Amino acid sequence: MTDQAIRTPVMARPRPEIVMHGLKPRPRGWLEWLTTTDHKKIGIMYLVATFFFFVVGGAEALLIRLQLSQADNTLIEPAAYNGLVTMHGTTMVFLFVVPVLAGFGNYMVPLMIGARDMAFPRLNALSFWLLLFAGIAFYASLFWTPPTAGWTMYAPLSDDAYLPDGGIDAWIFLIHLTGISSLIGAINFVATIHNMRAPGMSWGRMPLFIWAILIYSYLLILALPAVAAAATMLLTDRHFGTAFFDVTGGGDPLLWQHLFWFFGHPEVYIMVLPAFGMISEVLPVFARKPIFGYKAIAASTAAIAFLGLLVWAHHMFTTPTATVVLAIFMITSFAIGVPTGIKIFNWIATLWRGSIVFKTPLLFAVALPAQFVIGGISGIIVAIFPVDWQLHDTYFVIAHFHYTLFGGSVFGIFAALYYWFPKMTGRLMGEGLGKLSFWLMFIGFNMTFLVQHSAGLSGMPRRIYDYPESAGWEGYNLVSTIGAFLLGIGVLVTLVNVLRSLKHGKRAGNDPWKGNTLEWFVPSPPPENNFDVIPRVRSVEPMKDIRREVARNSQQAAGTVAQPVA
Amino acid sequence: MMPPAVRPHRQNRILLAALALALGGLLVGAPAAMAGAIFPESGGSPQADDISTLYKITLAVGVVIFLIVESTLIYSLVKYRARKGGPPAEQIHGNTRLEIGWTAGAAAIVVVIAAITFVYLDDIRNPPASDPDGLQVVGDFAAIDQAPPPGNRGLKIRVNGQQYLWRYDYPQENGRQLFSYYEMVVPIKTTVVLEITSSDVIHSWWIPKLGGKKDATPGHVNETWFKIDKPGVYVGQCAELCGDNHADMRAVVRAVPVAEYQAWAEQRRQDIEEAQRALAEQRRQREESQQ
């Protein structure tokens, strides 16, 4: 059976036919999208919705940058500025990076492990619709009062005594809706990956992106309940007279910070590990080499996730907390540097002695380690708690986490977009526009955030709507704003590229990149059931085996029968 | 034929090492003028200076790592780009010794950085003694975690954050109150210990040139210290989002000679007493006019 599967493309056997009676006709048009439980359609809806929120969050970032481009600027009012800061952070974390990864996961996990759908298709649809309505509920606050306490929502500022308006409640609503969406999505990924892998795909033959999505899911399951509890406590503090975070009622504002960051730091790895997984797929394909140190990369993903659960208080180095506690959290934070370093070395070793093909996905994938290493080094610097006393809550920290989240995650996401777009649509993205987009984004990103280190070192705190000329921060901020607009144009070029390629892109065929994993075995776009026959997996690069097999078969005289493959 | 093939590699390595050393040396020995652009602000108080030194050491290590990673990455991208007739990709799956090596290397680096941090920690955290010619106040330093200055001699100021203002309460003298807002006047050569709290939302006390920031959290007391050698004015602002006008919540520390501080304190105490007497007078007049 499995031997036939491998030879199917060459030997063109007739497909088994299934005859059914009394089947209801499938809904067409928009109703089809509304009612679908196909992981690929849900994945595409995830990607469209999250990229929409990415553009909205990006527009908010550009408004922030416009306001800060000059000293003593009066373009945006203080309350509106704080609203922009809060919306930008919340949007990018909860409505873009986390769910866009779920979107790629949704589309790719079943294809890469050789499954016909996710384990719970209807739950999968619910995940998406909850996410969409979370975004709508949150953005509806724009018509009343948007939240202004920052995405970290520190109590007691977020308590009703200081911000009684509904914006904070809209944020709580968003936390719960996206939280449930991510939780059931994560359970779905776990069930799918544990149970539905192709025959032969043992843990040691699972693609690294699948490893990353599995660990992303476990992290979500472990971390989300903490923020759900915190948001519920904030809700009852605001409306039902409890005092979890209110000192005058016997509560403690530090409780919020512990609960929030117990979620918030794993969230950082939730946002970056799948991007690491993405480039662990892209780099070997374009270097024409196997991934260097497969086991080390998979193990370091697990190690980062485990350590990531033990570092939350490094966001709280300036709070009134005993020094011994700060020292412990410094050490655990340092420890994360080791598995992260291992990954970076392994990626470079994957390129070493390769035969590197410079397509757009490779450019974005290579930019990830190049930029992430800066965020990693600045991460070690801010993990030293006495040094963090100077850098905490300044633009140095803004620069640090944008180097990890944008320079890391978003560049990985763009690599994945260029890499998998042909699989999803059947058409290649334009290489010219792709490379233009990459260089604009690469230059724009580094121009925006490199100088922010200096702004922070010279004393510029984050979340300020205005600064005096005498502070000497205007130069840094102007450079940063120009860079941000270059970056914005770069993103737009990719959007144009997507829209253009949908109609005019070159036909991709099944396997335009000579990929290593099973998604390249099926047609582009894949049929609804993904696989007619599920091939047996013999290594971590099943497509290489299949191509080799095909080549061997095609060299034989027509009509001869191959020896069974053991 | 071997030597010519090997030499460029070795030259690269030597060049790289030299570059890293030069950059590291430049970073550690760079003039204070670089503060702000690539180092944290310093120069006002020993705490800020020590933090800056610790930062510079880590940055030097970081720059070396950065150069190694980026140069290897760029080198492999250029050297191993696909070319017509070029060598095919080598099918290497890994190298256990190499991988154990860089794991141990990365671990060693963070252990060294942790050790250096602990060397500097006491000097950053614990306040030193005031100079003999500084103001000598004996206080009760009910420290939670930060040691009191030696001999319990130093000026203790209670800092209270409120939307969008800082209030400073100095020790009472014979029951006479001394407080001020926005501008904190302190004597030079004197260890000043701050006890920081808040009466509404969370704020963060930060004067970059004097040292690290400390959150002002309602229901908690946070501590830090500074000791200024020369008269001067140091500015800072609230570092934790505290509401719409967070950006307007500024603080100034003005360091003056001891005698000038004492004169200022005496004048300030008198002004406060004067204001309190005037308040009593106003109340009496108001009550009389209401009768």
Query: Which of A251-255, A499-503, B5-9 is least confident?
Result: B5-9
What are the pLDDT digits (tens) for B171-213? Answer: 988 889 999 999 999 999 999 999 999 999 999 999 999 999 9
Global confidence as pTM = 0.91
Kindly state the average pLDDT of the residues B125-143.
84
Angle formed by the axes of helices A39-68 and A411-425, to 10°? 140
Active site residue A453: no
Pairing of strands B183-187, B250-256: parallel
User: In sequence order, what are the residues at sequence separation of 6 or more whose Cβ sits closer than 8 angstroms to the Cβ of residue B82?
Assistant: A288, A355, A356, A357, A358
DSSP helix/strand/coil, A144: coil
DSSP helix/strand/coil, A160: coil
Q: Cα–Cα distance between A116 and A112 in angstroms, integer?
A: 10
Task: Give ipTM to 2 decimals.
Answer: 0.89
Residues in B touching A254 (Cβ below 8 Å): 217, 220
| A1 pLDDT higher than 80 | no
DSSP helix/strand/coil, B176: strand
Q: Among candidates A345, A373, A354, which has minimal Cα distance to A287?
A: A354
Could you tell me if A145 lies within 8 Å of chain B, comparing CB atoms? no
Active site residue A517: no
| Residue of A314, A400, A536, A538 marked catalytic | A314
Kindly state the average pLDDT of the residues B120-140.
89
Q: Which residue among B72, B91, B125 places its CB closest to the CB of A289? A: B91
| B140 pLDDT higher than 80 | no
Determine the distance in angstroms separating the CA of B284 from the nearest CA of chain A, rounded to an integer. 34
What's the DSSP call for residue A525?
S
Beta strands, E only, A100-233:
none
| Residue of A81, A107, A256, A269 marked catalytic | A269
pLDDT over 70, % of chain A: 94
Q: Cα–Cα distance between B123 and B52 in angstroms, integer?
A: 12
Q: Among candidates B30, B37, B207, B119, which has minimal Cα distance to A390?
A: B207
Q: Does B206 sit within 8 Å of A464, measured CB to CB?
A: no
Q: Among candidates B62, B119, B78, B89, which has minimal Cα distance to A373?
A: B62
Q: Cα–Cα distance between A107 and A189 in angstroms, integer?
A: 11
| Structure confidence at residue A559 (pLDDT) | 46
CB A62 within 8 A of CB A84: no
| Structure confidence at residue B11 (pLDDT) | 63
Residue B205: its H or E element: strand B203-205
C-alpha distances in Å from residue B52, one per residue of A161, A525, B28, B43: 39, 56, 10, 9
Determine the distance in angstroms separating the CA of A85 from the nearest CA of chain B, rounded to an integer. 11
Higher pLDDT, B30 or A418: A418
Candidates B217, B222, B223, B253: best to mutate against A (most CBs of A within 10 A) is B217
User: What residue spans in chain B does CATH classification 2.60.40.420 cover?
Assistant: 150-290
Q: Cα–Cα distance between A544 and A531 in angstroms, integer?
A: 18
Q: What radius of gyration do chain A's Cα atoms show?
A: 25
Residues in B touching A392 (Cβ below 8 Å): 204, 213, 239
Mean predicted lDDT score pLDDT of chain A = 93
CB A116 within 8 A of CB A214: no
Q: Which of residues 38-97 of B touch A (CB under 8 A)?
A: 38-41, 48, 50-52, 54-55, 58-59, 62, 65-66, 69-70, 72-73, 76-77, 80-83, 86-95
Residues in B touching A295 (Cβ below 8 Å): 94
| Residue of A88, A238, A359, A536 marked catalytic | A88
User: In sequence order, what are the residues at sequence separation of 6 or more whose Cβ sits closer than 8 angstroms to the Cβ of residue A30?
Assistant: none
C-alpha distances in Å from residue A10, one per residue of A3, A13, A508, A547, A553: 12, 8, 19, 11, 8
Q: Which residue among A162, A366, A459 places its CB closest to the CB of B41? A: A459
- A133 CB neighbour count, 10 Å cutoff: 15
| Structure confidence at residue A24 (pLDDT) | 75
- A180 CB neighbour count, 10 Å cutoff: 17
Active site residue A314: yes
| A405 pLDDT higher than 90 | yes
The neighbouring-strand residues paired with A394 are A461
Active site residue A423: no
| Structure confidence at residue A26 (pLDDT) | 78
Active site residue A24: no
Active site residue A32: no
Q: Does B38 sit within 8 Å of A454, measured CB to CB?
A: yes
| Structure confidence at residue A11 (pLDDT) | 52
| Residue of A117, A388, A474, A519 marked catalytic | A117
- Name the residue of chain A whose CA is nearest to B196's CA: A320
What are the pLDDT digits (tens) for A439-448? Answer: 999 999 999 9
Residues in B touching A348 (Cβ below 8 Å): 69, 72-73, 76
Q: Which domains does chain A have, with CATH numbers?
A: 44-552 (1.20.210.10)
What's the DSSP call for residue B35?
B
Q: Does A464 sit within 8 Å of B237, measured CB to CB?
A: yes
Prior bond to A525 cis, omega within 30? Answer: yes
Kindly state the average pLDDT of the residues B89-103.
92
Active site residue A280: yes
The neighbouring-strand residues paired with A356 are B81
What are the pLDDT digits (tens) for B66-84? Answer: 999 999 999 999 999 999 8
Determine the distance in angstroms separating the CA of A381 from the nearest CA of chain B, rounded to an integer. 7
| Structure confidence at residue B31 (pLDDT) | 54
Residues in A touching B200 (Cβ below 8 Å): 156, 162
Could you tell me if A80 lies within 8 Å of chain B, comparing CB atoms? no
Kindly state the average pLDDT of the residues B119-129.
93
Q: Does B117 sit within 8 Å of A330, measured CB to CB?
A: yes
Q: Cα–Cα distance between B143 and B222 in angstroms, integer?
A: 9
Could you tell me if A156 lies within 8 Å of chain B, comparing CB atoms? yes
Candidates A329, A364, A380, A389: best to mutate against B (most CBs of B within 10 A) is A389
The neighbouring-strand residues paired with B256 are B187
- Name the residue of chain B whose CA is nearest to A84's CA: B244
What are the pLDDT digits (tens) for A185-209? Answer: 999 999 999 999 999 999 999 999 9
Higher pLDDT, B193 or B10: B193
| Structure confidence at residue B1 (pLDDT) | 36
| A238 pLDDT higher than 50 | yes
| B2 pLDDT higher than 50 | no
- Name the residue of chain A whose CA is nearest to B64's CA: A377
User: Which amino acid appears at position B69 of this protein?
Assistant: V
Q: Which residue has the tokens 């005496």?
A: B266
Candidates A76, A384, A513: best to mutate against B (most CBs of B within 10 A) is A384
| Structure confidence at residue A179 (pLDDT) | 97
- A104 CB neighbour count, 10 Å cutoff: 27
Determine the distance in angstroms separating the CA of B264 from the nearest CA of chain A, rounded to an integer. 27
What's the DSSP call for residue A278?
H
Q: Which residue among A253, A338, A454 places its CB closest to the CB of B202? A: A253
| Structure confidence at residue B280 (pLDDT) | 94
CB B204 within 8 A of CB A150: no
What are the pLDDT digits (tens) for A290-330? Answer: 999 999 999 999 999 999 999 999 999 999 999 999 999 99
Q: Cα–Cα distance between A528 and A540 in angstroms, integer?
A: 25
Beta strands, E only, B52-182:
155-162, 165-169, 179-181
| DSSP states of B242-268 | -STTGGG-EEEEEEE-HHHHHHHHHHH
Query: Which of A14-23, A100-109, A340-349, B118-127 is least confident?
Result: A14-23
pLDDT tier at B221, thresholds 50, 70, 90: very high
DSSP helix/strand/coil, B225: strand
Q: Which of residues 257-286 of B touch A (CB under 8 A)?
A: none
Q: Which of residues 143-202 of B touch A (CB under 8 A)?
A: 144-145, 163, 200-202
Could you tell me if A249 lies within 8 Å of chain B, comparing CB atoms? no
CB A369 within 8 A of CB B69: yes
Higher pLDDT, A153 or B290: A153
Active site residue A402: no
What's the DSSP call for residue B91?
-
- Name the residue of chain A whose CA is nearest to B104's CA: A338
Q: Which fold has domain B150-290?
A: Immunoglobulin-like (2.60.40)
What are the pLDDT digits (tens) for B267-283? Answer: 999 999 999 999 999 99
| Structure confidence at residue B34 (pLDDT) | 66
Q: Which of residues 60-79 of A touch B (CB under 8 A)?
A: 78-79
Phi-psi label, residue B94: left if phi above 0, alpha if psi -120 to 50, beta otherwise: left
Kindly state the average pLDDT of the residues A41-67.
97
Residues in B touching A467 (Cβ below 8 Å): 247
| Residue of A36, A333, A340, A524 marked catalytic | A340
CB half-sphere exposure, B223, CA atoms < 13 A: 19
Q: Write phi, then psi, for A393 (nearest 5 degrees).
A: 60, 25
Q: Among candidates B231, B55, B47, B63, which has minimal Cα distance to B146?
A: B47
